[in-house]
Amino acid sequence: MRIANLTHGALFMLGAYIGVSVMRYIPNLWVAALVAGLAVAAFGGLLERLILRKLGGNVFGQVLVTLGVSFIIADACLLGWGGDPIPIQTPAILQAPVRMAGFVFPAYRLAVVVIAVVVAILLYLLMERTRLGAMIRAGVDDPQMASAVGIPVSRLFTTVFCLGAALAGAGGVIGGPIMSAYPGLDADMLPLALIVVILGGVGSLLGAFAGAFITGFVYTFGVALLPDLAYVILFLPMILVIAFRPRGLFGKFAA
């Protein structure tokens, strides 16, 4: 959508905290993820309608507003849920480790990988294979022409923004059993997300997926081998990609 959204880390954290609250009443991770996704989507929709919409093509203004909103969310979470990390229970079915080809994997992490792949495929199909996806792509590339041929660009953009927010919120809950919910989660997630997008290329699902894969690998090995400097290692692939291919691995245009 070419909207610079810096609230995504905060939306992720908000989702995780909402998940924590939901699970106090309904101890089911998937329900919690669904509720958190919906709640965060509603919030994202309001944000887009009430504030971002007014700033039109003012990219810099959008950055600042989303930055401001993410500070507000982060502080509100601190106020509402306190400063201690809150763990999220792993679902009982997925607590046992799984043996595969001689290696032992924690079942929950495998499930997360499966979910991620399914979501990625669904998103890809939505964007590339459906009428809705074609309309969205048209709206991003040339909003004026798109609305001239009768595509409700404005409503579509709100929908896309809600969808993005919903994924961030649900992601926060699903990541919860691995990372738990704590203040600063947003600031931890933001560089990861940014590096993923810069690596993979803006406006490319495949790029986001590849970027996430590389970043995940590098970060995990970095933490295991050189825990003090994991963050520095994290940023090496980014330098390499930026130096040789500024638009990212699969990007259509330069960021």
Partner 1 sequence: MRWIVALVLAAALPLVAGEYYINLASQIVIFAVFAASINLLLGYGGLPTLGHAAYLGVGAYVSALLQLKLHYANWLAAPIAVAATTAMGCAFGLIALRATGLGFLMLTLALSQVLWGTAYRWVSMTDGDNGLRGLARPTPFGLDLNQAMPFYYFALIIGVLSIWMMARFVASPFGVTLKGARDQPRRMSALGYDVWLIRWITFIYASFWGAVSGLLFVYYHKYIHPVSLSLANSAEGLLAVIAGGSGTLAGPLVGAAIVLLLKNWVSAYIERWNMLLGFVFVLIVVFMPEGVVPGFHRLWKRFVSKT
Contacts with partner 1 by CB under 8 A lie at 4, 51, 54-55, 58-61, 63-65, 67-72, 74-76, 79, 187-188, 190-191, 194-195, 197-198, 202, 227-232, 234-235, 238-239, 242-243, 246, 254-255
108 or 157: whose CB is closer to partner 1?
157
Min dist CB 90 to partner 1, Å, is 25
Between CA 102 and CA 144 the distance in angstroms is 57
Q: Cα separation of 128 and 210, whole Å? A: 18
Measured distance between the N- and C-terminal CA atoms of the chain, rounded to whole angstroms: 12
Shortest distance, CB of residue 207 to partner 1, whole angstroms?
14
DSSP assigned state of 86 = B
Name the nearest CA neighbour of 143 among 56, 67, 39, 18: 56
Query: d(Cα 169, Cα 117) in Å, to the nearest integer?
Result: 17
User: Which is closer to partner 1, CB of 5 or CB of 173?
Assistant: 5
Q: How many CB atoms lie within 10 A of CB 17?
A: 26
Q: Residue 236 contacts by C-beta under 8 Å, 6 or more apart in sequence?
A: 218
Q: How far apart are CA 91 and CA 133, in angstroms?
A: 34
Beta carbon nearer to partner 1, 52 or 166: 52
Decide whether 37 or 211 has the Cβ nearer to partner 1: 211
* Conformation bin of residue 101: beta by default, left when phi > 0, alpha when psi is -120 to 50: left
Toward partner 1, which CB reaches closer, 32 or 190?
190
